[in-house]
Structures are given as C-alpha cells and as structure tokens.
Structure 1
Amino acid sequence: MNAEFIKSALLPKDYPAHDLSEVAFLGRSNVGKSSVINVLLGRKSLVKVGKTPGKTRLINFFNIDNKMVFVDLPGYGYAKVSKKEKESWSKNIYAYISSRNQLKLCVLILDIRRVPTEDDISVINMLYELDRDVLFILNKSDKLSGNEIAKQAKVISDKLGLIKENFVIFSATKKRGTDEAWEKINKTLY
C-alpha cells in the first residue's frame, strides 16, 4: 500500500484540494491513534507516534494509493495544555468535521480498558449531530484477556447505547482487527 503525507493544515482555507474520499481519525490523547493509522497502512512511522500525549496539534492529511485520504485529527481530552489551546483544538476539529464535503467516515478510537469519558461522549454526540458515519475502534485489546475484552466491550456498549457489533476490537501492537477495520472502511467508502 502506498501512503504519503500530503500536508498539515489548521484552517479550512489550508486543507488540500482533491476529490478523494476522506477518513478522519479521532480519539483522546494517548489512545494510540497514530499507532492505529500506521498499523492500518502497514507502515512503522508514517504518522509520528509521540512518547507524550497531545503531540498532534495540526490536521494531517495522507494520500492512500490515490484512492482515499486519511486525516489525523488532534487528540482531545489532554490535561497538560491550556484551556485556550484545548478550545482551539476543539474548534479546529469541529470546523473540519462540519465543513469537509470529502469526509465520508469518522473513525473514533477508544481505549478498551477505559469507560468512555464525557469528552468521548461529547465527540460522539457532535459526530451524530453532524450526521457523520462513525466506525468505533476499541484499541489496546492486547492488554486484556478474552474475558476482560468481552466484559469491557459490554461496559462501553452500555455506556454509549450501542451494540457490540458496532465496534472493531483492535490492537495496534498485535495488529488485531486490521482486516475487520479495512472491511468496514471499504464498505462505507465504496
């Protein structure tokens, strides 16, 4: 798979011009968003993985085989930045999601070990209010046993009011869930 960086942007006027479908990736800081994208693309470091959360501050665009564009959005919910900076990220994420006609799918990455936070629920509500298709990836499944995965998937589905079949159980470390995620992405785009 050929994947290459197009550009970083902050404002809609700076987004790249193209007619490909876009798949946007969202998630709390430290949920493994960059790792999930790299695993899906079969690359080690196309998307920079930071040791500290909150590294992605711009909206990053990547051309995938001239068939689609992956969009890496800033992580939300990071506690160690100013309130003003958090609000700026939120506005930029909202501006992209609400205005981008090429956006066909939002991939929301959640940590399977954690109950969704108010930030997660706010993002989900925004996506639904904007009538966006959402694929839920529950990352970090390698940290749990099979029984714990089933239990946590139920906790998360109950909290969000979704059926477990809406989730892809994923592990960026073990590459679990890659085929299922691609199947759902392709089904939405084509």
Structure 2
Amino acid sequence: MKVTSSEFVISAVGPKQYPTDGLPEIALVGRSNVGKSSMLNKMMNRKGLARISSRPGKTQTLNYFRVNQMLYFVDFPGYGYAKVAKTIKETWGKMIEGYLKNRQELRFVIQLVDIRHAPSKDDVAMYDWCKQIGIPTVVVATKGDKIARGRWMQHIKVIRQDLKLRGDDTIIVFSSETGQGKDELWGEIMRRLRAAEEDQRQAEKEEQEEQANSSNPS
C-alpha cells in the first residue's frame, strides 16, 4: 500500500480519549525493546514519527497513529520491562484489557517478537490472552537483518512452536533497517481489513433479515 499521509493523533490514557471517527484500529504489542517504534516509522514512511526511546518501558499510554485517513495503528506500552513500577504495570494491564475486550474498532493485533530469540513468557502470555479473547493476531518477527536469511525458517519454527500459533495467524519476518517484510505486512493488513469489512456487512445483512422476519411473522 502507498502511504500518502501519516500522523500522530493522541496519547490516550482511557476510553474517553480514544478517537470517535470509527476508523478500524490495529493494536501493536510486544516487549519494550522489540522495535515497535522502528517498525511503525518504516510502515508509515515517517522517520521519527513514532519516538524511539533509549529507555525501555517509557511508553505508558495507547499512542494513536492515523494512516491515509483510513486506519489507526495503536501502539501499546511495552511489556516485560522489570524497572517499570508495579503500580504502573497494573494500570497498563487494566487499560490494555479493557481496550482488547471492549474496543469495537479493533480489528486485530500485530504482536512483535525478536526473531533472534525464542518467545519469552510474556510473549506467550500475550498471545494466549489474545486467543482467549478471540482476537486474530499477526506475529511480526523483527530484526530480520540481524541474522542470515538462511536461518530465518529455523527461528520461525521455534516462534511458531513456542507460541502454539493457531488458526490463520501469520508470521512475517521484518527489518526496519532494510524494509524486509514491509510490503508483505501491508498486504496482510489490507487483506484482513477487507475480510473484516465483509464479515461486518454479512452480519448486518443477517440482522436486517432477522428483524424483517420477526416483524412479518408467517
């Protein structure tokens, strides 16, 4: 997809600050040092739009980025960083849980893992949580440029096995340095958004037919 506009919209601390324009939202989750900001900047063609912090765990809000006036990337606080205060972690947890369970505009989650390492306990827990809630997930294996291409499949196999990848959840190798995986990820995003729109239209059609049948009993 060609990105013609991208912008930071808001750092939200709760539902009252979430956008109200009804655009589809894609949540980005991952460990604090996995490269979410770098991936966002590469995907949006905007160097430095998503801030890359030297202090892992700095993001403490849901950061909304609007792309082409058609969707939002929602950058979650990084998980797994030990130096973040327990009270802040608890606040994050409540905010994230509420968003994942209740946000109607959420279409799916992009979960980032470091291709060089087996998924952590936090990675596994996050993936399991999404599955329990019933949220589709795209797994992005970041830092693909850090290992030889010939070793990618070996590392992907470990990620797939440790997360116990389910259904049609996808793994895409990504590099913010080379752009590897960028076009593939955009393709997957657009495919899933079109499928979600079709599902929504079908659900609305079925609801209308049910209402029509109930108002005209035979």
> What TM-score, normalized to structure 2?
0.83
Counterpart in the other structure of 1:169: 173
Point out which structure has higher relative CO (alpha carbons under 8 A, 6+ apart): 1
User: Is residue 151 of structure 1 aligned with residue 160 of structure 2?
Assistant: no
Counterpart in the other structure of 1:127: 130
Q: How many residues align?
A: 190
Post-superposition shift, 1:161? Answer: 2.0
Task: Measure the CA separation in 1 of the matches of 2:155 and 2:90.
Answer: 30
Counterpart in the other structure of 1:79: 82
Task: Measure the CA separation in 1 of the matches of 2:151 and 2:129.
Answer: 29
Worse overlay, 72-81 or 83-92: 83-92
Gaps of 5+ in 1: none
Partner deviation per Cα, 1:118-143 (whole Å, 9 max, x = no partner):
11111111111111111110000111
Structure possessing the higher radius of gyration over alpha carbons: 2
Q: Going by fraction, where is helix more abundant, 1 or 2?
A: 2
Contact 2:27 2:106 in 1 (8 A): yes
Post-superposition shift, 1:148? Answer: 2.4
Partner deviation per Cα, 1:6-39 (whole Å, 9 max, x = no partner):
1111111221211110111111100000111110
Gaps of 5+ in 2: 195-218
Post-superposition shift, 1:53? Answer: 0.8
Post-superposition shift, 1:162? Answer: 2.6
Partner deviation per Cα, 1:38-67 (whole Å, 9 max, x = no partner):
101111011111112112111111111111
Residue type matched to 1:135 in 2? Answer: V
Q: 1:64 pairs with 67, 79, 98, which one?
A: 67
Q: 1:88 pairs with 86, 91, 94, which one?
A: 91
Residue type matched to 2:118 in 1? Answer: V
Q: 1:106 pairs with 99, 106, 109, which one?
A: 109
Counterpart in the other structure of 1:189: 193
Post-superposition shift, 1:147? Answer: 2.8
